[in-house]
């Protein structure tokens, strides 16, 4: 099998190109996706290749163009809607939550909304509070939505195809710090959008995370290995529905668990994962559950404050040391 080295951004672009070639019903729409090539350069070159009917620049109105995308999906097309940042998706909460997520239920199964909505998420780039949030956990709260968080080049390349094949709305959250991530991509990529994936095998503690926190968890696992602690790293990948089986298998093996989530601690996805572990694997635990989340503040602009507000490798390492009874 051939393997190429490629960036996350390039992998997303390849996935879009493949989808556009494979199905004439597929089109991309969003702010600056055409002539500008996308805010994060994911759609660069696609306008020249596919033309303005398939690569559609929209007005600066998330409420308007997300709603239009839902209408196009109901009309038989397969829209991919790009929202510049998850913060701006709040302007489209009504069409996403009250229409796309609920229409199959409210129509008694007569209608579905086969739309894919992509959006950048996360902090770490000094773009201040209104451009730095991680709201994927909010959307994972909503029945009727499937919520994905590709954190590797392979998932960035492979998740779009099954997302487009899904008859119901799929939201893809791309952490903005991952676009320049490089990784090896095999020539044949098959990715499901149902299961979590163990990224590093261990025996002492389960590090459960997703998205932009995955590289941090993997670096923390490297540091912990040098201290004789074998951390297993579980990449959730699919935030709704959560893959309980993979999570519990890891927890039952390692008997300790730390959840790393860039969302705020209160009402976080981390809290949901911990609750499920408590419900399903409480008597397998040798230590209390723990989590590392963002501080309960709007994400600061100043770099040193932003770094202090977010989950970081030293915080993860210290939390694991405390779980292992080796705190400094």
If pLDDT is split at 50, 70 and 90, which confidence band does 3 have?
confident
User: Are 47 and 163 in the same domain?
Assistant: yes
- Which strands sit side by side in the sheet containing 116-121, from one edge to the other? 55-57, 26-30, 78-83, 116-121, 170-175, 146-148, 238-240
What does the pLDDT read at residue 1?
Answer: 73
Q: pLDDT tens digits for 65-94?
A: 999 999 999 999 999 999 999 999 999 999
User: Are 164 and 294 in the same domain?
Assistant: no
CATH code of the domain covering residue 153: 3.40.50.970
Answer with the one of 186, 220, 248 that is the final residue of a domain: 186
Instruction: Report the pLDDT averaged over residues 159-167.
Output: 97
Residue 90 lies in domain? 3-186
What does the pLDDT read at residue 188?
Answer: 85
Determine which one of 10, 31, 62, 154 is catalytic. Answer: 62
Q: pLDDT tens digits for 248-273?
A: 999 999 999 999 999 999 999 999 99
Does the pLDDT of residue 95 top 70, yes or no?
Answer: yes
The answer to the question of residue 328 being in a domain is no
What does the pLDDT read at residue 328?
Answer: 44
Number of C-beta neighbours around residue 17 at 10 A = 15
User: Are 264 and 303 in the same domain?
Assistant: yes
Q: pLDDT tens digits for 291-315?
A: 999 999 999 999 999 999 999 999 9
How far apart CA 301 and CA 307 sit, in angstroms, is 10
How far apart CA 306 and CA 219 sit, in angstroms, is 19
Q: What is Dmax (Cα atoms) for the chain?
A: 60
If pLDDT is split at 50, 70 and 90, which confidence band does 187 have?
confident
CATH code of the domain covering residue 294: 3.40.50.920
Q: pLDDT tens digits for 208-232?
A: 999 999 999 999 999 999 999 999 9
Residue 131 appears among annotated catalytic residues:
yes
The answer to the question of residue 107 being in a domain is yes
Determine which one of 10, 31, 82, 131 is catalytic. Answer: 131
User: Are 243 and 180 in the same domain?
Assistant: no
Residue 82 appears among annotated catalytic residues:
no
How far apart CA 326 and CA 328 sit, in angstroms, is 6
Contact 213, 262 (CB under 8 A): yes
Note the pTM of the prediction, 2 decimals: 0.96
Answer with the one of 167, 186, 205 that is the final residue of a domain: 186
b/e 42-54 (16+ beta carbons within 10 angstroms → b): bbeebbeebeeeb
Percent of the chain at pLDDT exceeding 70: 99
For residue 263, what are its two tokens? 């969302």
Q: pLDDT tens digits for 132-146?
A: 999 999 999 999 999
Number of domains making up the chain: 2
């Amino acid at each position: 099998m051939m393997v190429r080295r490629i960036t996350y951004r390039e992998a997303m672009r390849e996935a879009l190109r493949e989808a556009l070639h494979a199905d004439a019903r597929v089109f991309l729409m969003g702010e600056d996706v055409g002539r500008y090539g996308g805010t994060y350069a994911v759609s660069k070159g696609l306008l020249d290749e596919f033309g303005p009917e398939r690569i559609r620049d929209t007005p600066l109105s998330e409420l308007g163009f997300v709603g239009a995308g839902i209408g196009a999906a109901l009309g038989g097309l397969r829209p991919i809607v790009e929202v510049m940042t998850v913060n701006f998706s709040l302007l489209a909460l009504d069409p996403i939550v009250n229409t796309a997520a609920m229409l199959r239920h409210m129509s008694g199964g007569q209608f579905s909304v086969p739309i894919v909505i992509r959006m950048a998420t996360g902090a770490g780039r000094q773009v201040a509070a209104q451009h730095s949030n991680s709201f994927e956990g909010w959307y994972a709260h909503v029945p009727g939505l499937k919520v994905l968080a590709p954190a590797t080049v392979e998932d960035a390349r492979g998740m779009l195809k099954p997302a487009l094949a899904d008859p119901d709305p799929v939201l893809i959250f791309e952490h903005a710090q991952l676009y320049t991530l490089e990784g090896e991509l095999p020539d044949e990529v098959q990715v499901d959008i149902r299961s979590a994936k163990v990224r590093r095998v261990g025996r002492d503690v389960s590090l459960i995370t997703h998205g932009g926190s995955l590289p941090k968890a993997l670096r923390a696992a490297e540091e912990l290995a040098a201290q004789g602690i074998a951390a297993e790293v579980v990449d959730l990948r699919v935030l709704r529905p959560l893959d309980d089986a993979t999570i519990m298998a890891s927890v039952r093996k390692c008997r300790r668990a730390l959840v790393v989530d860039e969302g705020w601690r209160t009402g976080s996805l981390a809290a949901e994962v911990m609750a499920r572990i408590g419900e399903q694997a409480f008597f397998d635990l040798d230590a209390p559950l723990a989590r590392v989340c963002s501080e309960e503040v709007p994400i600061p602009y100043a770099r040193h404050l932003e770094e202090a507000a977010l989950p970081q490798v030293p915080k993860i390492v210290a939390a694991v040391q405390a779980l292992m009874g080796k705190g400094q």
